[in-house]
Chain A
Amino acid sequence: QITLKESGPPLVKPTQTLTLTCTFSGFSVTTSEASVGWIRQSPGKALEWIGIIYGDDDKVYNPSLESRLTITKDTSKNQVVLTMTNMAPADTGTYYCAHGLDYWGQGTLVTVSS
């Protein structure tokens, strides 16, 4: 059974760095075909793809966010970490991690406010 769960701070201040962890089970991110991606959803708004990391450690980021993003993985812990710098109120939303296109975590709400 494949599961994913996001964790991280519910509140960050503007200009701070956000670090979110996706802890998963039921698969491993060790082959080039395996992947974990991040997607976010602003309150009441549509979905925005953030980026993805593959088992061979290749990463692809959304160009609109790329300068602020880092995605890494720790295969021994079955975790993928998303780091986003210089957070702003417009980054407020629910952040999801996903395996492939059909397994998503429940999401974690992040509010950016002073």
Chain B
Amino acid sequence: DVVMTQTPVSLSVTPGQPASISCKSSQSLLHSDGKTYLYWYLQKPGQPPQLLIYEVSTRLAGVPDRFSGSGSGTDFTLKISRVEAEDLGVYYCMQSVQLPLTFGGGTKVEIK
């Protein structure tokens, strides 16, 4: 299985400040079709995970542009340029280059 490792485990951020989450995979997420299958989810309290970003850097429709994804191969980053109160929750990275799909352990973002 592809192991996904996220850091930090938790993050406390002042509104308006930036935040960054790292995700590393045990194998390259670059598929032979040229796409890199790395996704970012946000799980707000009491809700299912919601997809924010797919294929490393493409935001889902309606996701604010303060969210950005970057990286390649095995190293990826989710950045929030200016954190807002509604951004609190647990962020997960996920890979789908190989089944079984696997998720990172999560990064809990708290608002100061």
Contacts and interface: CB of A to CB of B under 8 A. Distances in A.
A13 B96 CA distance: 33
A105 interface: yes
Contact of B48 (A37, A62, A105): A105
Nearest to B90: A46
Contacts of B94: 47, 101
B99 A102 contact: no
B77 to A, nearest CB: 19
Interface in B64-112: 92, 94, 96, 99-106
Contacts of B102: 49
Interface residues of B, number: 20
Residue from the set B48, B51, B92, B99 with the largest chain A CB neighbour count within 10 Å: B48
A101 B103 contact: no
Given A102-B51, A104-B49, A46 B105 contact: yes
A49 B48 contact: no
Contact of A104 (B48, B99, B100): B48
Contact of A49 (B39, B47, B51, B100): B100
B99 A60 contact: yes
Contacts of A47: 49, 92, 94, 103
Nearest to A94: B48
Contacts of B101: 37, 39, 49
A60 B49 CA distance: 22
Interface of B: 1, 39, 47-51, 54, 60, 92, 94, 96, 99-106
27 contacts: A37-B101, A39-B101, A46-B92, A46-B104, A47-B94, A47-B103, A49-B99, A49-B100, A49-B101, A49-B102, A49-B103, A52-B99, A60-B99, A62-B100, A63-B100, A96-B48, A101-B39, A101-B51, A101-B54, A101-B96, A102-B51, A102-B60, A104-B48, A105-B48, A106-B47, A106-B48, A107-B48
